[in-house]
Chains A and B, each alone.
Chain A
Amino acid sequence: MASKFTVSNRTGWLMAGPAVLLIAGFVILPFFLAFAFSFTNQRLISPNPTEFVGMSNYRQLLGVTMVTLEPVRDDAGAVVMKDGAPEYPSLRALTRNNPDRPELAGMREWFSFSLGGEDRTYVLARDVVFMKAIVNTFIFVLIVAPVQAALALGLALLINQRLRGINVFRAIYFMPVVVSIVVVSLLWRLIYDGQSGLLNNLLGAISFGMIEPVNWLGNPSTALGSIIAMSIWQAVGFHMVIWLSGLQTISPTLYEAAAIEGASKWQVFRYITWPGLRNTAILILIVITMQAFGLFAQIDVMTNGGPLDSTQTIVFQAIERGYGKQDISGGSAISVILFVIVLSISLIQRWLTREKT
């Protein structure tokens, strides 16, 4: 198409212009605004003028420090024990108006550990909830990405066989994908219910009452896991379809050759199917990771971040601040942090899966 007949600046701008302008205005501009707002104290509605505050929002969100404390000793120098464990001085004395440690003011305990010996190290964070949100989001992504990708591949291999009516099964496995995550989350709230939930009844029935009912969403140790399981259930069909389209790009002659050579099923998978799915695998991992970092609706509908902040996530925090508390600057700073995380991870994934030459 190198002729002069296809050159037209006017037509090009006229046809691409509207879409380009909309994307520039409603995707690219807000992206830069996120950076700009994150260095101010912008609020959604405020009588006071907006001020530049530098890195203060980031310091507030990401401030973490460690303090090592010696146990309390009595006059004789022996460690004071309380409930069978050494007693440590109160952290509050350090974090509340302590003139010697002004940098600790307002910080709260995130967790503590002891590396042997009597001293105990406390990790303090300026925003403990946000720290938990980051950890929860990473747990979610690190479990969902591999498990969902693997299950989706399993389903794709299962669906990829020649059987009468296989398309019906494909259609059924894909069904939850077209249902809104909000609807799905509500349904599963009832399934996970602590008393009369379907799941508890099912577990009770197959164990003849051995398994006690669990309040899946009300218990800090099971809430995030329950949300993970449901999220995989909802989205696995999506990635099954992408795996399937990858499977169909593998030449049938390779399989025929393998059959003639008498290759085992595992050999066929290991040496033909899996190498043929390389690009699909990379794409799926990147897509799942990006989707997983956006975890919000499930939390909003099912747990609101609770119990005890065990299901707080980065996006939930961004919305709670930016919208709930109308703190646009805080929400924007979280958005920027999320973007930096997502970008670094996709760069790392690309680097790890690069073509080795």
Chain B
Amino acid sequence: MAMIAADNRGLRLVTRYAVLVLIAIIFVFPLVFMLMSSLKPDQQLLQDSGNLRAFLPVGDISLQNYTDAFQRAPVATFVFNSVLVTGVTVALSLLLCSAAGFAFVFVRWRGRDTLLALLLATLILPFETIAIPLLMMVANLPWVGMEGLTWGWLNSYRVQIIPFIADGLTVFLFVQYFKDLPGELIEAARVEGASWWQIYRKIVMPLSGPIFATAAILKFLVMYNQYLWPLMVTQEEGYRPVMVGLQYFFQLNVAWGEVMAYLSMITVPVLAFYLYLQKAFIASIASTGVKG
């Protein structure tokens, strides 16, 4: 009897893992396909997609597609633009949104509650509903730079950065997190005569590692994966980010091998980053769920 029970348990365990693995295959197969295809010449790529070889690094394997991709498009420029825009936006976003969260939670000032309610109301505005009027707006904004006063922000880095620095969700995440910090500690520090800057820098920031990580990861994903906005505001390739750069691979006939190489180049670093910081990524998505 005991033997049968043990066997049953073993069998159930095996089926459980089988189900888990089967589902895992559904989620990874396109990515494996992408990586393997990026190593193959076009003709073989299309032939292989008829069988399991599509998922194996077999046949005429080389990095030729990667070299060709660099020939076809200014890949390095696109990557540089994406890294610059994403990096600057994330950094400024953390600074300004955490400062705002701090002011909303710890400081009492006139207009605080009204403004917070206003910011929360923006959470129900999908970006898609403001994209077109925002396009009109940025096309006519002034800017003072090296060449003096100019009009219009199209084809620049600032048009990809400034509108995305502050957003309701990021401020809200900081507010939620700061509310759980011991407020008495901050008040005591004030009584002791600490300046607001000291409190922010010496008390709040050291306690807020997780929320900074969360906000950074969410912003990073949004910014690096931007498509609609840069598509509209960057006509010059010098300012285009990686996702818009994809269009260079669809002129005339599609060279799938190069496409796959380019996709791998822009995706693998993010995936590696994700796998390395997996827990933090998942925690940051989960924290957007505590809105309720």
Partner-B contacts on A (CB < 8 A): 1, 3, 5-16, 18-20, 22-23, 26-31, 33-34, 36-37, 42, 44, 155, 158, 161, 163, 166-167, 169-184, 186-188, 190-191, 193, 196-198, 201, 205, 233, 237-238, 241-242, 244-246, 279-280, 282-284, 290, 293-294, 296-297, 300, 315, 318-319, 321-323, 328, 331-332, 334-336, 338-339, 342-343, 346
Q: Is the CB of B137 within 8 A of A12?
A: no
What 9 additional pairs, Cβ within 8 angstroms, besides A161-B16, A182-B227?
A7-B109, A22-B162, A23-B119, A30-B134, A34-B129, A179-B270, A180-B224, A233-B26, A238-B285
The reply on B73 being an interface residue by CB < 8 A is: no
Q: Is the CB of A283 within 8 A of B292?
A: yes
Closest to B108 in A: A7
Contact with A along B230-243 (1 / 0, CB 8 A): 01100000000001
Contact partner of B31 (CB less than 8 A), chosen from A170, A173, A179, is A179
Whole-angstrom CA separation of A184 from B31 in the bound complex: 9
Closest to B184 in A: A1
Given contacts A182-B227, A319-B232, contact A16 B115 (CB under 8 A): yes
Residues of B within 8 A of A193 (CB): 49
Contact partner of B136 (CB less than 8 A), chosen from A44, A166, A175, is A44
Whole-angstrom CA separation of A36 from B282 in the bound complex: 40
Stretch touching chain A among B2-10, B97-105, B143-151: B97-105
Residues of B within 8 A of A280 (CB): 289, 292
Q: Is the CB of B129 within 8 A of A338?
A: yes
Q: Is the CB of A174 within 8 A of B224?
A: no
Q: Is the CB of A171 within 8 A of B129?
A: no
Whole-angstrom CA separation of A257 from B190 in the bound complex: 48
Whole-angstrom CA separation of A171 from B275 in the bound complex: 7
| Distance between B166 CB and nearest chain A CB, rounded to angstroms | 4
Q: Is the CB of B285 within 8 A of A328?
A: no
Question: How would you classify the secondary structure of chain B's contact residues: helix, strand, loop or mixed?
Answer: helix
Q: Is the CB of B131 within 8 A of A3?
A: no
Q: Is the CB of B119 within 8 A of A176?
A: no
Given contacts A44-B135, A238-B285, A244-B286, contact A335 B128 (CB under 8 A): yes
Q: Is the CB of B106 within 8 A of A175?
A: no
Whole-angstrom CA separation of A244 from B286 in the bound complex: 8
For this complex, 11 residue pairs linking A to B, each with C-beta atoms less than 8 Å apart, are A6-B107, A11-B103, A20-B100, A27-B168, A34-B133, A180-B243, A182-B243, A183-B34, A196-B46, A328-B133, A336-B129
Q: Is the CB of B225 within 8 A of A242?
A: no
Whole-angstrom CA separation of A179 from B163 in the bound complex: 23
| Distance between A30 CB and nearest chain B CB, rounded to angstroms | 4
Whole-angstrom CA separation of A171 from B24 in the bound complex: 9
Residues of A within 8 A of B108 (CB): 1, 6-8, 12
Given contacts A171-B275, A280-B289, contact A335 B129 (CB under 8 A): yes
The reply on B281 being an interface residue by CB < 8 A is: yes
Contact with A along B161-191 (1 / 0, CB 8 A): 0111111100100000000000110110011
| Distance between B130 CB and nearest chain A CB, rounded to angstroms | 4
Residues of A within 8 A of B289 (CB): 241-242, 245-246, 280, 283-284
Whole-angstrom CA separation of A339 from B126 in the bound complex: 8
Contact partner of A158 (CB less than 8 A), chosen from B23, B164, B274, is B23
Whole-angstrom CA separation of A233 from B27 in the bound complex: 7
Closest to A29 in B: B137
Given contacts A26-B134, A34-B132, contact A297 B227 (CB under 8 A): yes
Residues of A within 8 A of B84 (CB): none
| Distance between B205 CB and nearest chain A CB, rounded to angstroms | 13
Given contacts A18-B99, A20-B115, A186-B263, contact A191 B271 (CB under 8 A): no
Whole-angstrom CA separation of A335 from B228 in the bound complex: 14
Q: Is the CB of A33 within 8 A of B30?
A: no
Whole-angstrom CA separation of A331 from B167 in the bound complex: 23
Given contacts A6-B108, A11-B196, contact A33 B288 (CB under 8 A): no
Q: Is the CB of B183 within 8 A of A28?
A: no
| Distance between A33 CB and nearest chain B CB, rounded to angstroms | 4
Contact partner of A196 (CB less than 8 A), chosen from B28, B49, B232, is B49
Specify which of B23, B124, B133 lies most central, judged by the most chain A CB atoms within 10 Å of its CB.
B133
Q: Is the CB of A16 within 8 A of B99?
A: yes
Q: Is the CB of B186 within 8 A of A6?
A: yes
The reply on B278 being an interface residue by CB < 8 A is: yes
Residues of A within 8 A of B127 (CB): 294
Residues of A within 8 A of B109 (CB): 7-13, 16
Whole-angstrom CA separation of A315 from B232 in the bound complex: 14
Whole-angstrom CA separation of A294 from B290 in the bound complex: 22
The reply on B88 being an interface residue by CB < 8 A is: no
Whole-angstrom CA separation of A198 from B126 in the bound complex: 34
| Distance between B151 CB and nearest chain A CB, rounded to angstroms | 12
| Distance between A295 CB and nearest chain B CB, rounded to angstroms | 9
Given contacts A31-B129, A237-B27, A280-B289, contact A22 B282 (CB under 8 A): no
Q: Is the CB of A331 within 8 A of B183?
A: no
Closest to A191 in B: B30
Whole-angstrom CA separation of A334 from B228 in the bound complex: 16
Whole-angstrom CA separation of A75 from B188 in the bound complex: 99
